[in-house]
Amino acid sequence: MLEAAGRCPPEDVGGAPGYAEYLDALGDPAHPEHEHMRLWGPENFDPNVIDRKAIDAAVNALSGIWKPRPRKLRSK
């Protein structure tokens, strides 16, 4: 079973510093970038809501790609 602590940032948010700024702007209606960030990001973005179905789907997709390959035996 997977556990998660928060939602991943939206695409092109600007890395960890950009995500922190994005969250600050979203959480403060008086922030000068609040309206711009609200309109730019996903609708009704809540950093605390985790989309478990999306995480499970992504992990399942990767597990199909990352299957161990058969090892070739070396001849001596």
- Residue ranges per domain, the chain? 15-65
CB 74 within 8 A of CB 20: no
Helix (H) or strand (E) holding 53: helix 52-65
**pTM exceeds 0.75:** no
pLDDT of residue 1: 65
Question: What CA–CA distance (Å, rounded) separates 24 from 34?
Answer: 8
Question: What CA–CA distance (Å, rounded) separates 4 from 50?
Answer: 7
Residue 2 has pLDDT above 70, yes or no: no
* Mean of pLDDT over the chain: 87
Residue 70 has pLDDT above 90, yes or no: no
pLDDT digits (tens, 9 = 90+) for 28-48: 999 999 999 999 998 888 988
